[in-house]
Amino acid sequence: MEVAIAGAGIAGLASALSLARSLPDSHIRVYERSAKISTLGAGIQLGPNAFAALERISPDLSELLKSVAILPECVVMRDFSTGKTLTTVKLGPEIAQAFGQPYGTLHRATLLQALMAACRAQSNIAIEFGVDFQAASLTPARLNASLIVVADGLWSSARQEMLGDVDTRLSAIAFRAFQFFSPGDFFSPEVQVWVGPGVHVVCYPVNAFDSLNTGTVLNVAMFVSGNRMRVLDRTLPKTERVSWATGVSAQEMLAAIPKPNEALRDLLANVVQASAWRVYDQAALPVWHREKTVLVGDAAHAMLPHLAQGAAFALEDAAELGLQMQTNSSVPAVALENFYAARAPRCWRAQNAARRYQKIYHASGLLRFARNSVLSLPLLSPAFGGLSWVYGFK
Ligand SMILES: Cc1cc2nc3c(=O)[nH]c(=O)nc-3n(C[C@H](O)[C@H](O)[C@H](O)COP(=O)(O)OP(=O)(O)OC[C@H]3O[C@@H](n4cnc5c(N)ncnc54)[C@H](O)[C@@H]3O)c2cc1C
C-alpha cells in the first residue's frame, strides 16, 4: 500500500512510524514543507496517555523517551499575586501507579528528533524535506496513494482544500522562554502553575536540547488573555495567519502582565530566549475524513495548550490509525470511519476542557474567589486535577 503524509511534525512522524509497523508491506512517504525538522518551541509535558500511545507505536521509542524525560513529582498551583499555594496534584509514583505510565517533561525537539530517528530506521518510510504537499508536482503521488494522512497542523492547507475555512479564534498570547540553572542551584522537580486574572504562568524543568547549554533548564510559558491580549495582538508583528514566534525580552514579558508576586517576578525577570506566539482556538470539526484522506493531530483537533495534551493526542491518533489500518487494510474507508468514531468524541471533549481550563486559570472577581475556595478543600478537588479521563488512554 502507498501512503502519503503531509507534514513531518509530531502527528506526521508518529503516524508514519505507526503505519510502517502495522503495515510492513506499505511504502510511506512523508512530505515536509520546511527544509528540516522544526526545533522551534520549547518544553512539552507528556502525560501517561502519551507514553501509552508511544508504547503501542514503538515500545523502544517509549522507553528511550522515558529515560531522557524529567518525571516531575507534582503540579503545584499558586496564586499569581500573593504566591499562596492553592492546590497540589501528585504526579510521580502516584500517577504512574494509577495509569501504568509516568508523567514526563521533555524539550519538544528531543521528541521530534527521536521520532525522526525511529522513522529513519524503518526501511518503508521516506521523508522529503522542502516539499509543499499542495505542490502540483505532487499530484501523481497523491493520486497513486491508497491513503493520505493530513498532518500539516492548525493552518492545514490540505484540510482547507477538503473542508474550506474552519472557525479559529485568537484566545491568548503565549510567551515562551527558558531560565538556566547555575551549578549548585536547587531545582525542584515540579510543574508550577501560577494563576491570576487574565494570565497564568507554567514552569517545569526539562533536560536541555543540544542547542542550549547542557544540563537542566526551566521551561517557562506565560499566557495572557482578555484586554491585555488584544493590546499585545496590536503591538506584535502581524504574520500571515500562522502563529509564528516573535523574539521578546524579559522586560517586555513583565510589561505585558499585572504585578506578580516577588518570587515569580524574579523568575520572569531572568528568563532568556523569550518569544511571543499567538494561540488560536479551533472549533470542533464534524468531518475528519473523505474517501482515502484523513486528518490527524492539530489539523483535525487543535486545542488550547492548557491541558498540555495537543502533542499527546497526536500520538494517540497515530497509535489508533495504525491499529485501524491493520484491522481493515483492504478497505481504508472503513478503517478511517472507525478511526474517526474512536477519536473524535475524545478530542472534542479535550478541546472543550482546554477552553474551560483557561477560564478557570484566568478567573477574576467572584469566580476567582470560588475557584480558590474549592481548591482549598482537598476533598472537593477531583483526583489528578480532574484529568483521569485524559490520562487513562487505552
Ligand atoms: C505554548 C504551547 C505549549 C504546548 N504545550 C504542550 C504540552 O505541554 N504537551 C502537549 O502534548 N502539547 C503541547 N502543545 C501542543 C502541541 O505543540 C501541538 O498540538 C503539536 O505540536 C501538534 O503537532 P502536529 O504535528 O499536529 O502539528 P505541527 O507541529 O504544526 O506540525 C505540522 C507540520 O506540517 C508542516 N506543514 C505545514 N503545511 C505543510 C504543507 N503544505 N506541506 C508539507 N508540510 C507542511 C509544518 O512545517 C510542520 O512541520 C503546546 C502548544 C503550544 C502553542
Which numbered atom of ligand 1 lies nearest the CA of 105?
A: 8
pTM for the predicted model, two decimal places: 0.95
Whose Cα sits closest to atom 19 in ligand 1? 310
Distance between Cα 153 and ligand 1 center (Å): 6
Low-confidence ranges of the chain (pLDDT < 50): 211-213
| Spatial separation of the C-alpha atoms in residues 174 and 236, rounded to whole Å | 12
pLDDT of residue 138: 84
How confident is the model at residue 319, as a pLDDT? 98
Ligand 1 pocket test target in 298, 301, 313, 357 with most atoms within 8 Å of CB: 298
CB atoms within 10 A of CB 217: 24
- Ligand 1 center from residue 263 Cα (angstroms): 32
Res 215: pLDDT = 73
For ligand 1, atom 48, name the residue with the nearest CA. 9
Q: How far apart are CA 298 and CA 151, in angstroms?
A: 7
- Helical (H) or strand (E) element with 173: strand 168-180
Confirm if 192 and 80 have CB atoms less than 8 A apart: no
The per-residue pLDDT for 188 is 74
Q: Which atom of ligand 1 is nearest to the CA of 13?
A: 25
- Say what the alpha-carbon torsion angle 374, 378, 381, 387 is, to the nearest 10 degrees: 140
How many whole angstroms from 317 Cα to the centroid of ligand 1? 13
265-321 pLDDT per residue, tens: 999 999 998 999 899 999 999 999 999 999 999 999 999 999 999 999 999 999 999
Lining residues, ligand 1, CB within 6 Å: 6-12, 31-34, 38, 44-45, 132-134, 151-153, 157, 174, 176, 221, 277, 279, 297-298, 305, 308-312, 314
Best CA proximity match to 4, nearest among 150, 122, 119: 150
